[in-house]
Every structure is written in structure tokens, then in C-alpha cells.
Amino acid sequence: MVMRIFGASFAVTVVALVVAFLYGGPQALLLAAILGVLEVSLSFDNAVINATVLQRMNEFWQKIFLTIGVLIAVFGMRLVFPLIIVWAASGLGPVAALDLALNPPADGAAYFPDGRASYETLITDAHPQIAAFGGMFLLMLFLDFIFEEKEITWLSWLERPLERIGKLDQLSVVVASAILVLTATFIAPEGKSLTVMIAGVLGMITYILVNGLGELFNVDEEEGTSGGPSELAKAAGKAGFFLFLYLEVLDASFSFDGVIGAFAVTSDPVIIALGLGFIGAMFVRSITVYLVRKGTLAEYVYLEHGAHWAIGALAFILFYSIGHHVSELVSGLTGVFLILAALITSIIRNKNNPDVGTDADEDPQAETVSVNA
């Protein structure tokens, strides 16, 4: 199963590294490899969340996510999206924007001798609105999770009270709006407050729209299927399409900071696309499929919780990064720490309760093994 799931990723990695070598020699090969490793190591929470959504889709839409979805992730987010930002920010045409990306100023300067901003500078300057949009999308996802009543809880001492206050209608929107206002007022750089507000509101609208459409067309799942819906209940048709759309926006929100952070390694869009996209994105998708096929989320029931808390942490980090530099290692390692904590406590739970299943019909009061001690 491992080679069947990861075989394509290994093959694509070899091809990407060969292309990188032909494109820029040993240095380009090394940079692409570094970016690929960083993307995989820092995006495990993305894979877990993707798996929670993917297991709700039927086989057809799962294949669409793994084919067309990969193309969107590789070419759309890692190559075309940065070029669109440069195109919009500089007023250059698409060909000129690509030329600007491929021919940076000498010695890594931020500006050309004629005063034009470099590709990297234009991307970095667009970070506040990118972080506001992505941060708001992820924050809404996190808030909807922690305010939703759940049969199984991980941080029970915290999640249970949040579930109780979550009964207040539209609380996620209220909390997210308040955080956006505070971010735009106290964190956003001078002159960027309105831009951050608009981008954040657009992120919220996108989440509500895509998530709402998915729920509107979704089929009713059988009760007691926290380990994943039955085959008959898996989303198809319009429901599958909107779940696919939701997954792509979610993946884009995760990848925003990765694309920006890649410029700490290189500003070459071809190497970024090869490293983050062809290598990193492919492996993240393979990990997602592995989690679904192995039933890992059903076996280790706190993984989904840990991934959502990692999403919440990333959302707040993105908001903070609007006005302050945050190392990509901080956001990545925070997610890794929360995922590992959820995995370890899941293993402890399974060891202490070997006869207890993973279905949602368990006594919720018994699910306090992890962090109540």
C-alpha cells in the first residue's frame, strides 16, 4: 500500500530534481530539495485536515482531488498565484512579471537601478493582505470546530466550556470579526489597516460561502460515524464538488505563508514551484491519502483535534505576521508539536482503553484521557 500511494510522489520528486539540476545546476537541485523537505515537514497538519474532508468524499472526487487538485496546488498556488500578485502590484503584463521573476536585480537587491521593485519585494509587500485572507479562512475553520458540540474531546477542560458558549448563534463570526478589527488596528503596518480589513472580510466571506455550499448539498451522514461516513453517505455530485472546492481553498490558505517563506531560500519561481509544488504538494497529498486508506483518523481519534488546534495557532501566527516577522519554523514546529501531542495522547487512550472502539457512540465523559491530568 505504501508504494502504491507514495510511488507517484517519489517519481515526481526524481523528475523535479532532475529538472532543477538541468535548470540551475547543483545549487538549484539542492534548493528544490530543501524547499520540498520544508513543505512536507511543515504541512502535516494540512494533510490531517485534508484527510478529514477527503474521507467524506466518494472515490471519484477523491481522484479529482489527487489529479486536478495537484495541478491547482502546483501550478496555481506555487507558480501562477505569485505571478498574479506581481502582475497586480506592479502593473506589468504577465510576460513582464515572469521576466521580473526570472531576472532579479544583482546581488539580491530589493530594487533595480531604475527604481523598479524586485519580484521578491512585491510578493513580500503583499503579505499583509495575503495573511489576512488566509488567516481569516483558517480562523473560521478553527472556531467552527471548537464551538461545535463533539462526542469526543481532546482538551476536555477547555473544549467542553467552548462548546457550551458555542451554542450562541454566529459566535464564530463575532469572534473572528473582533480579532480582525484588533489585528487591523494594532498589528497592521501604517497605511495597511483598510487593506487588512478588506482582505480579512473576503477570507470570511469565502469560508462561509464555500463551507455553506458544501453543507447545502451534502448528503446526510449516518449517526455515529466519527471514524468516517459509510460508503453510502460519502459525498458525491454537487456535494463532492463543493467539498473539493473547499479543500482547494483550504490548501491555498495553508500554502500562503509557505510561498512567502520560500523567498528566504530563493526568489526563483521555477525552483519554488519545483520544491514546494512538485515535491512538497505531491507528498502532502500522498500523506493525506495514506491517512484515509489506513483509517488513521479513526484509530487515533485526537489527531483531528490536534490538527484543528494547529490551524488555530497558524491563523493567529498569520495575523501576528502582518505586522511582525515570524520565522516559518515557528508556525511549522507549532503545528508539528500539536499533531505529535494529539498522536501521543491517542496512543495512550488506545492503550488504556483497548476494548473501547473509535465510534462516536462512546461516552463523551470518558474521553478525558489526554490533558486533564
- Cα–Cα distance, 334 to 239 (Å, whole number): 33
- Cα–Cα distance, 138 to 49 (Å, whole number): 11
Q: Are 282 and 70 in contact (CB under 8 A)?
A: yes
In a domain, 61, yes or no: yes
Domain containing 32 equals: 2-366
pLDDT tens for 164-205 read: 998 888 899 999 999 999 999 999 998 889 999 999 999 899
In a domain, 372, yes or no: no
In a domain, 244, yes or no: yes
In a domain, 45, yes or no: yes
In a domain, 247, yes or no: yes
Confidence of residue 371 (pLDDT cuts 50, 70, 90): very low
> What pLDDT was estimated at residue 370?
39
Average pLDDT of the chain? 80
> What pLDDT was estimated at residue 75?
73
pLDDT tens for 65-103 read: 878 887 787 777 777 777 777 777 667 777 777 787 777
In a domain, 371, yes or no: no
In a domain, 83, yes or no: yes
Q: Are 284 and 151 in contact (CB under 8 A)?
A: no
Q: For residue 235, what are the β-bridge partners?
A: 57
Least confident of 23-37, 148-162, 210-224, 264-278: 210-224
pLDDT tens for 116-125 read: 777 778 877 8
Cα 360 to Cα 150, 354, 357, distances in angstroms:
9, 16, 9
3-state helix vs strand vs coil in the chain, percent to 5: 75, 0, 25
In a domain, 287, yes or no: yes
pLDDT tens for 109-152 read: 676 666 677 777 887 788 898 889 888 988 998 999 999 988 88
**DSSP of 10-22:** HHHHHHHHHHHHH
Domain count of the fold of the chain: 1
